[in-house]
Amino acid sequence: MATDTADLVNSADSHVLEPIDLWQRELPESMRERGPVTEVVDEREVVYIDGKIVRRDPVAFMEAIRPPGAHDPSMRLADLDEQGIWAELIFPSRALWVHLSDDPALQLACSQIYNDWLYDEIMSRSPRFIGAAMLPTLDTADAVAELQRNVARGFQTVFLPTSTPPGRDYNSEDWLPLWAAAEEAGISLSFHIGTGADPKVFRGLGGAITNHVASFYPAQTTLCHLVASGVLEAHPNLQVSFVESGGSWLPAVMERMDEAQRQYGTWFLRPKLPMLPSEYVKRQVHVSFQHGRAALAVKDICGVDALMWGSDYPHLEGTYPNTRKVLEGIFEGVSDDVRKAITGGNFAKLFTVPQPQTA
């Protein structure tokens, strides 16, 4: 399908599917059976990390979110072209559960293997594929080293989960070296929702809908930690994105943080921030959404700069294969400059994106 390059969008959220045997192939002998392993049992795809079951999804559902482009870079480019997408930020699929291991060495090794594969097999195939290097979460020195190793070869952002291991909330001083390293390296942080802990929190009637909503709470908590503990104050050049979180909650969190800071006055506030929480958000925070129109209604509160669209390719909760139609619906009646900022311009401020060739 021919597309005027001026209409191409950038997607702030997509997923690539790693080979099923990636970690068994690449892990050192001693860890081989402890990396992510997938087995089919009773028509369910069961994923183990370190011998622990971390996922159990219907095979037919998993197949529905695995078009050839999920793992084949050429097919992926064809899908991007067909959907009218130019560049995209890429997150993992099978590696999403690595953070559920409680072994720092295993987390680090699995992260390194994923990042190497992403670099060699995906990013090398096109500059339109902008990969997020995944970082381990149990040891800050490991995370800093993996950040620096990947930035040195051109990675522009790192992927961190929105849920953290016990005792390592993002307001912990244990994380300070990572924030400093990211700012120094000049890269942004990308927190992807539904990661770092089992995202199926609620069981029973209506659980699928409730869990889809609840998956944005850890993003909101992470945002609060980074603002309220003073991370964004200390690192004014650090840009932070919350991916697949939706966008329309952002003003609610901004207002509620401001309400707490203003109303508690001299009570309980530690540290005391020189600016309002919402001001840090406007300066340094971005959120990605797939379908939300409510985000547009509140853009004057959070600022247009904060909003980025993402396809979530190839997931069902994303816009594939109806991206063009979805975007038309979201941006009906919205001015061109706002649409362009949210569907690509803000992305191009965070990341170096190659110039589209004229059609």
Chain residues binding a second copy by CB under 8 A are: 58, 61, 64, 169, 171-173, 202, 204-210, 212-214, 216-217, 220-221, 224-225, 227-230, 246, 248-249, 251-257, 259-261, 263-265, 267-271, 277, 290-294, 297-298, 300-301, 316-318
CB of 40 to a second copy, least distance (A): 18
Choose between 6 and 269: whose C-beta lies nearer to a second copy: 269
Choose between 98 and 227: whose C-beta lies nearer to a second copy: 227
Cα 39 from Cα 4, distance rounded (Å): 44
Contact 18/92 with Cβ under 8 angstroms?
yes
CB of 46 to a second copy, least distance (A): 17
Count of beta carbons in the 10 Å neighbourhood of residue 264:
10
Q: Distances in Å between the alpha carbon of 343 and those of 104, 209, 311?
A: 37, 26, 10
CB of 221 to a second copy, least distance (A): 6
Contact 195/164 with Cβ under 8 angstroms?
no
Choose between 212 and 349: whose C-beta lies nearer to a second copy: 212
Choose between 8 and 231: whose C-beta lies nearer to a second copy: 231
The encoded tokens of residue 36 equal: 């992510």
Find, among 164, 161, 133, 137, the residue nearest to 148 by Cα. Answer: 133
CB of 71 to a second copy, least distance (A): 21
According to DSSP, the residues that pair with 285 across neighbouring strands are 240
152: left (phi over 0), alpha (psi -120 to 50) or beta: alpha
- Report the sign of the C-alpha dihedral through residues 295, 300, 302, 305, in that order: positive
Choose between 1 and 205: whose C-beta lies nearer to a second copy: 205
Choose between 133 and 219: whose C-beta lies nearer to a second copy: 219
CB of 10 to a second copy, least distance (A): 21
CB of 234 to a second copy, least distance (A): 11
